[in-house]
Structure 1
Amino acid sequence: MTQESTRVEDRPTTLDAQGVLTWARRCVEQLAEHREEINALNVFPVPDSDTGTNLLYTMRAALDRAEGEDAWIAEGGGTAGAREVAVALGRGAVHGARGNSGVILSQVLRAVGEAATFTVVDAATYRRALRTAVTLVDNALSDPVEGTIVTVLREAAAGAGRSTATSLVEVARAAADAAADALSRTTAQLSVLRNAGVVDAGGRGLLILLDTMVGVLTGETPERPDYGVPSDPGAGECVAGAGAENSDRDDAGGPAVQASTQTRYEVMYSLTHSDDARADELRSALRTLGDSVVVVGDGGAGDHARWAVHVHTDDIGPAIESALSLGRIVEIRVTDMLDPLGEGRATDHAVGTGSAGASSAAARPTGTPTRTVAAVVRPGSLAELFIDAGAAAIDPGDSGEGVIDAVLALEADECVVLPNGELSRAQIASLDEALRDMGRHALILPTASVVQGLAALAVHDASSTLSLDGFGMADAAAATRHAHLVRAEQDALTLVGRCAAGDLLGVIGHDVALIDSDPVGTVCSIVDRMLTAGGELVTLLLGDEYDEPSTETVLARLRADHPDVEVAAYSAGPGRILARVGVE
């Protein structure tokens, strides 16, 4: 997209696709710069609050999704405009939303996409986007609380609506100034904020996004007061005794009900293969199980639509089970709000784990158990993918005999093992027995291929308990269908006909699904067949037979045939398996 924004009195009246991307990138930069400030404002109910971190993570997820649109634009091969980029931002934010404030942010970004014209964001679009965001957020929340990010958003929309200017910059400035005024008043609207002498953390994050829009349009970001936490040593004590004035750990006064501060768990997951009616049904069910309920969609259609689900509850199982009949659950995350650092689990994990584990535990004054992920994977490019993602790579060798010793040698209190299809059932049983004999706290997950292992590792959360971490990782692995491509070693009869030595065999799961001779065509056909059952993300691990031109051909064909599906490819190096495919 090369369209230039129209200018009146040297001020842009619109933002094109590149302008929207520039705003999103600046938002990430500004949230990163102010992350600790926002975290510090989130003083209740836990002192190590993470609203700033959640907002930054969510905005980065949004930008990552939109950057795919940016690459398409830069290549000159498409006609993506501001609306497409804005829609991508909204969907990326819903898919990657963290915490209550992150979920709310996702709806603000989604609203921009729904309000934008195809090519530009103008003054009318900005007004409409803020109004739409208010509607989306109000519909998504169980009981909005005044004095939170919801209040700041509503006042920003009202400020934009009061402006009669035709220039985008004037409307953006009116919205940001109204939001700043509303933010300053949040201190008096909630006693928990008044006692601490701070403004709402989520609202502060929203103001940064609105001010960044002004900065992109004018080159100068508005000056705001110092919203830092007061140095009054008694402020924290006042907050700690504030009782049930606010139940949201994500923003001091987040958009939740004013309910119990003793609610223990924050449960988040994504829901696919559902619809708005079932999302409403889930929202009603969750209200009976906890508070701070938010269920928001990304605006997509059909099986590609996704809803982000957030609830504070003491009943983790029912909160998840409520959605089982309403769609497909993915990406489960559970945080213990009363023990976010895991310090209360010290006595639960005091069992000796050998000399290495004992010395490691002694070095941690909080008693928080360490955890490692052991991925059974052959050396080379695949092993590097797991290592880069934070796992320890265990070489299975020719027979898998060294795996047990390698896993037991890892210096960690807890271990999650990813077999990745490299171990037989008997070897897994032997590994399990050895881990139990050593008193190790460990889980062996049913990952039947490296693509399932990578999917599990992507949702690994060392801050949660071992069982919850393993549950989320196993869920991600189970949601990933896998396939691979090999050459037939001899003539044989398969489920799809006779193959000759040297033929390419496309194996989906454990069954031969197609026989071909063209590596590019075969891997594309495998993906096509797998996507008939739905999917949002395709991961390709391509061996040495795929050079750079053939890899680009594969990616171009798949992205053209499946524009709503994300496709990523990585080098897998040499090996008997020519290509591996994962569909999530």
Structure 2
Amino acid sequence: MPHTLDAEAVRTWCALALDALGRAREEIDAINVYPVADGDTGTNLYLTVESAARAVDAAFDGHATTGPGSRPGLPEAVRAMAHGALIGARGNSGTILAQLLRGMAEVLTSAGDEDHHGALGGALLGRALERAVESAYEGVARPVEGTVLTVAAAAAEAAAVVPGATAAETARTAYEGARTALEATPRQLDVLGRAGVVDAGGRGLVEVLGALSSALAGGTPGPETAGPAPLATRAWTEGSYHPEGCRADFGGAGTGAEPAFEVIYLLEAPDEAVARLRTRLDALGESLVVVGGDGLWNVHVHVDDAGAAVEAGIDAGRPYRIRITHFGGAAQERTRTRERVQRAVVAVVRGEGLATLCTEAGATVVAVRPGEPPASGELVQAVRRAHAREVVLLPNDDDLRHTAAAAAEQARAEGVRVAVIPTRSPVQGIAALAVHEPGRRFDEDVVAMTSAAGATRYAELAVAERQSWTMAGVCQAGDVLGLIDGDVAVIGQDLAATAGTVLDRMLAAGGEMVTLVLGDEVPDAVAGRLERHVRDAHLAVDTVVYRGGRQCAPLLIGIE
């Protein structure tokens, strides 16, 4: 029987959408030619909805602790769904989907917890879909027809012309309108017509709307509850998919050379700063989508200068969860034709400077924020983005060894050969990347990278947050801690002086190269002082200095 538009319906919707996208993910990935044929739209949409579903489940779990039968209301559930999608959004289509959900949440939240059944629920859902489309178009810098935006607009338009419909009927009408619009996308966007496919993002949205229709019709998660399957793409089912030469951006027709990088990050910033950011990023690249509000934004852009895109975010506010993916010339052409590259490196890093450094070295980067380690699913997604037959995974954190191992097992089950190098610090990852040679046999390359990482001792300078006992004695809040290979070895008052002591201890065992990675707040003078210290006290030892970025530790040291 039809279900009331309430919190339980939202939870069921998320579960059904996740189930449907899980089954359709590979097909959607395969028809992904726009704006870049990187074959990950289905996966990105799945991860976006997965994040939304987790947030809704967390809202229910939080209420369960307050007493039997307690559950969130509709406003809380839709807020959780929209926030979860925003913080977990991936790629163009995932980011747009997050904004669609946010627009719906604006209307559904304002409606309160009254019974939204029958025509009352239908009218409310119709308004929510209309607002969703408005907000999505606001978030895309240069909207193009024939994309997921067109499919969303058709769904809202179809739902609006059925006065007196129930919520279930409205959802069903929106779903059918989206299906019809999806079928027309190859005639609206040349890149789709040349490839013989429908828009991948629109295809995913049809699955999401089909799940909403099933949820309000009384469905439960399962392979038979999503209603009629969205139309199959003839190019997919008949094997006539031709992505070569398919190129366009969200600004309209293709312009030739493709941007080298996809840059995505969450940003804490005020509205006025985001308005300036949009203008700056629009001049830097294409496929610009900035969505969110209330101080939290998800930023997505394709650019040639990844560092400039991240710097723009730093000027606007506080970016984190930075993800930089290298498209890059020949590798991108191979991806377009659905051929995997032979080998790739996936590196987990903290700080936008390190992310740019590793990306320029050819790695696919998973950038994380302090205290927010990536889940194994995020590492698996990075392995998929690398689109290689062989992948070397650098966790760069001792606490991530089990997460990396779990991700490697899942990727192996998908047919990718994965080796995890147990790097415990970013400086060990830098050392491993420095000797990476794709032309070697896989085993030989892994051995060489493992050897380079293992031969690199590492240290970190941090500031104590509270009084505590350490291996070097009692520290007070504000003391500078020098950690060598993970253990506190030196306690000091000055960063540069403490770092000098740490260097002396480490170099007493020998070394040929010192790597210094400075956090954003450490002045250049500290690097200069330490370089002079190494040069004067330790002959024949070279020093190289990098900027780690805002999320990096104050100072990282590596000695090879």
Please classify the TM superposition score into its range, dividing by the shorter chain length.
Answer: 0.5 to 0.7
Q: What is the CA distance between 1:184 and its match in structure 2? A: 1.2
Q: Does 1:216 align with 2:232?
A: no
Q: What is the CA distance between 1:491 and its match in structure 2? A: 11
In 2, the alpha carbon distance for the partners of 1:327 and 1:68 equals: 28
Say if 1:313 and 1:119 are closer, same or farther in 2 by CA, change over 3 A: same
In structure 2, what residue type is equivalent to 1:82?
L
DSSP 3-state at the match of 2:141: coil
Which among 424, 433, 441 is matched to residue 418 of structure 1? 424
Which among 92, 103, 106 is matched to residue 111 of structure 1? 103
Q: What is the CA distance between 1:432 and its match in structure 2? A: 6.1
* Deviation string, structure 1 residues 359-416 (Cα, Å, up to 9, x no partner): xxxxxx9785623335446xxxx9756755669xxxxxxxxxxxxxxxxxxx999957
Name the structure 2 match of 1:562: none
Contact 1:43 1:236 in 2 (8 A): no
In 2, the alpha carbon distance for the partners of 1:145 and 1:64 equals: 31
Contact 1:172 1:213 in 2 (8 A): yes
Q: What is the CA distance between 1:180 and its match in structure 2? A: 1.3
Q: What is the CA distance between 1:487 and its match in structure 2? A: 5.7
In structure 1, what residue type is equivalent to 2:145?
E
Name the structure 2 match of 1:41: 31
Which among 259, 262, 265 is matched to residue 264 of structure 1? 259
Over aligned residues, Cα RMSD in angstroms? 4.4
In 2, the alpha carbon distance for the partners of 1:93 and 1:213 equals: 16
Q: What is the CA distance between 1:60 and its match in structure 2? A: 0.3
Name the structure 2 match of 1:98: 90
DSSP 3-state at the match of 2:163: coil
Contact 1:267 1:319 in 2 (8 A): no
Q: What is the CA distance between 1:315 and its match in structure 2? A: 1.6
Q: How much identity, in percent, do the aligned residues show?
A: 31
In structure 2, what residue type is equivalent to 1:99?
G
Name the structure 2 match of 1:186: 185
Q: What is the CA distance between 1:240 and its match in structure 2? A: 1.7
Q: What is the CA distance between 1:159 and its match in structure 2? A: 1.1
* Deviation string, structure 1 residues 434-463 (Cα, Å, up to 9, x no partner): 9879974968898859xxxxxxxxxxxxxx
Correspondence 1:72-471 to 2 at 5 A: 72-77=62-67, 80-116=72-108, 117-119=111-113, 122-218=121-217, 219=219, 221-224=226-229, 226-230=231-235, 235-237=240-242, 239-242=243-246, 244=247, 246-247=248-249, 257-260=252-255, 262-297=257-292, 299=293, 301=294, 305-338=295-328, 339=331, 343=341, 370-373=392-395, 375-376=397-398, 384=402, 388=406, 417-419=423-425, 440=449, 448=460
DSSP 3-state at the match of 2:151: helix
Correspondence 1:420-569 to 2 at 5 A: 440=449, 448=460, 486=468, 494=476
In 1, the alpha carbon distance for the partners of 2:321 and 2:58 equals: 22
Say if 1:384 and 1:205 are closer, same or farther in 2 by CA, change over 3 A: closer
Aligned length: 402
Q: What is the CA distance between 1:83 and its match in structure 2? A: 1.2
DSSP 3-state at the match of 2:291: strand
Contact 1:291 1:313 in 2 (8 A): yes
Contact 1:90 1:113 in 2 (8 A): yes
Name the structure 2 match of 1:59: 49
Indicate the larger mover: 256-265 or 177-186: 256-265
Contact 2:174 2:209 in 1 (8 A): yes
Q: Does 1:11 align with 2:5?
A: no
Name the structure 2 match of 1:470: none
Q: What is the CA distance between 1:125 and its match in structure 2? A: 2.5
Say if 1:265 and 1:510 are closer, same or farther in 2 by CA, change over 3 A: farther
* Deviation string, structure 1 residues 292-329 (Cα, Å, up to 9, x no partner): 111111x4x3xxx3211111111212111112211011
Name the structure 1 match of 2:58: 68
Say if 1:266 and 1:89 are closer, same or farther in 2 by CA, change over 3 A: farther
Q: What is the CA distance between 1:494 and its match in structure 2? A: 4.9
DSSP 3-state at the match of 1:260: coil
Contact 1:16 1:81 in 2 (8 A): yes
Contact 2:185 2:199 in 1 (8 A): yes
DSSP 3-state at the match of 2:395: strand
Indicate the larger mover: 204-213 or 331-340: 331-340
In structure 2, what residue type is equivalent to 1:57?
L
Name the structure 2 match of 1:581: none
In 2, the alpha carbon distance for the partners of 1:433 and 1:156 equals: 50
Say if 1:155 and 1:446 are closer, same or farther in 2 by CA, change over 3 A: farther
In 2, the alpha carbon distance for the partners of 1:484 and 1:388 equals: 34
Contact 2:393 2:404 in 1 (8 A): no
Q: What is the CA distance between 1:282 and its match in structure 2? A: 0.8
Name the structure 1 match of 2:365: none
Q: What is the CA distance between 1:485 and its match in structure 2? A: 7.8
In 1, the alpha carbon distance for the partners of 2:6 and 2:54 equals: 18
In 1, the alpha carbon distance for the partners of 2:226 and 2:315 equals: 48
In 1, the alpha carbon distance for the partners of 2:344 and 2:8 equals: 50
In structure 1, what residue type is equivalent to 2:152?
L
In 2, the alpha carbon distance for the partners of 1:48 and 1:166 equals: 40
Contact 1:271 1:327 in 2 (8 A): no
In 2, the alpha carbon distance for the partners of 1:127 and 1:445 equals: 60
In structure 1, what residue type is equivalent to 2:211?
T
Say if 1:493 and 1:113 are closer, same or farther in 2 by CA, change over 3 A: closer
Say if 1:66 and 1:234 are closer, same or farther in 2 by CA, change over 3 A: closer
In 2, the alpha carbon distance for the partners of 1:159 and 1:366 equals: 42
DSSP 3-state at the match of 1:324: helix
Say if 1:82 and 1:510 are closer, same or farther in 2 by CA, change over 3 A: farther
In 2, the alpha carbon distance for the partners of 1:367 and 1:31 equals: 24
Which among 17, 20, 32 is matched to residue 10 of structure 2? 20
In structure 2, what residue type is equivalent to 1:154?
A
Say if 1:182 and 1:387 are closer, same or farther in 2 by CA, change over 3 A: closer
Contact 1:269 1:329 in 2 (8 A): no
Contact 1:66 1:88 in 2 (8 A): yes
* Deviation string, structure 1 residues 150-191 (Cα, Å, up to 9, x no partner): 001111111111110241111111211111111111121112
Say if 1:310 and 1:261 are closer, same or farther in 2 by CA, change over 3 A: farther
DSSP 3-state at the match of 1:11: coil
In structure 2, what residue type is equivalent to 1:137?
A
In 2, the alpha carbon distance for the partners of 1:279 and 1:389 equals: 35
Contact 1:112 1:125 in 2 (8 A): no
